[in-house]
């Protein structure tokens, strides 16, 4: 009887591992696409309603992936806590917990910081509507998001099976590098935000100057044509 239940739970855990793997791949793909949209937002310098709706839709996909990861994790943690508490110290379990934590951090930053600001400024210039500190935070969110999916991908690629790490010391090393890279990215974004704002307003001034020249030339041609017609 115990053998039957053991085989049954093993099969359930195998399905849970498959669900976690699918959720991680979905979360990584959604985050890559989300980073592309955020980069496009900063490149265009203007928040459009269509772009905002795309970002919100893909963020919901990421939320679904994170919910799958955490729901399966809680089931596994509860099972290990009841049947085998020593398994709670396993490297592969903590790797999965870290993956869920990084996904949760990424979603919190996008959902509670980036999306509300973007919604309030639809149709406006991102550089004209945001202060230096707000722009730096937006760029920092994008940097953390980009680094997050790279860290998740590394944690997965270095595994044996679905989640087990090939080297016991690899997991803390990767997470330490992840934290240091995020800190460095936030520091770089402070400089990058000022540079992006300066370039945007320089390009905007060039466009205004070009538009004034075209308007003046057109006005002169109209005046010359009108005077010739009058004669």
pLDDT tens digits along 182-199: 677 667 666 665 666 566
Residue 189: other Cβ atoms inside 10 A: 21
Quick one: pLDDT band at residue 166, thresholds 50, 70, 90? very low
Q: What is the pLDDT of residue 1?
A: 46
Q: What is the pLDDT of residue 4?
A: 52
What's the predicted TM-score (pTM) here?
0.60
Quick one: pLDDT band at residue 27, thresholds 50, 70, 90? confident
Residue 221 tokens, joined: 């041609």
Top-confidence residue, 148 or 123: 123
Q: What is the pLDDT of residue 28?
A: 72
Q: What is the pLDDT of residue 75?
A: 84
Listed residue (32, 23, 25, 20) closest to 145, CA to CA: 32
DSSP type of residue 159: E
Q: Where are the domains of the chain?
A: 2-186
Residue 224 has pLDDT above 60, yes or no: no
Q: What is the pLDDT of residue 137?
A: 64
139-155 confidence digits (pLDDT tens): 666 666 666 666 666 65
Distances (CA, A) of 120 to 40, 41, 48, 128, 217: 18, 14, 11, 13, 38
Q: What is the pLDDT of residue 153?
A: 62
Residue 163: φ, ψ to 5°: -130, -15
Listed residue (116, 120, 113, 115) closest to 136, CA to CA: 113
Residue 125: φ, ψ to 5°: -75, 130
Residue 64 has pLDDT above 80, yes or no: yes
91-109 vs 2-44: helix crossing angle, rounded to 10: 30
Residue 77 has pLDDT above 70, yes or no: yes
Distances (CA, A) of 57 to 50, 64, 78, 122, 230: 11, 11, 32, 16, 60
Contact criterion met (CB below 8 Å) for 145 and 38: yes
């Amino acid at each position: 009887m115990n053998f039957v239940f053991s085989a049954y739970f093993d099969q359930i855990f195998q399905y849970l591992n498959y669900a976690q793997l699918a959720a991680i791949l979905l979360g990584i793909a959604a985050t890559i696409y989300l980073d592309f949209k955020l980069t496009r937002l900063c490149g265009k310098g203007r928040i459009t309603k269509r772009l905002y709706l795309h970002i919100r839709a893909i963020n919901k996909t990421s939320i679904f992936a994170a919910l799958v990861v955490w729901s399966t994790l809680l089931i596994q943690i509860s099972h290990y806590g009841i049947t085998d508490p020593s398994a709670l110290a396993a490297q592969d379990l903590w790797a999965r917990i870290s993956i869920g934590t990084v996904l949760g951090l990424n979603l919190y930053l996008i959902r509670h910081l980036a999306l509300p600001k973007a919604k309030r400024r639809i149709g406006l210039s991102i550089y004209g509507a945001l202060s230096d500190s707000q722009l730096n935070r937006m760029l920092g969110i994008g940097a953390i998001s980009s680094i997050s999916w790279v860290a998740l991908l590394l944690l997965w690629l270095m595994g044996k099976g679905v989640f087990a790490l090939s080297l016991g010391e690899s997991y803390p090393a990767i997470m330490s590098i992840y934290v240091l890279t995020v800190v460095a990215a936030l520091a770089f974004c402070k400089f990058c935000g000022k540079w992006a704002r300066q370039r945007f307003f320089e390009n905007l001034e060039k466009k205004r100057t070009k538009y004034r020249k075209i308007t003046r030339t057109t006005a002169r041609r109209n005046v010359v044509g009108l005077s010739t017609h009058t004669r």
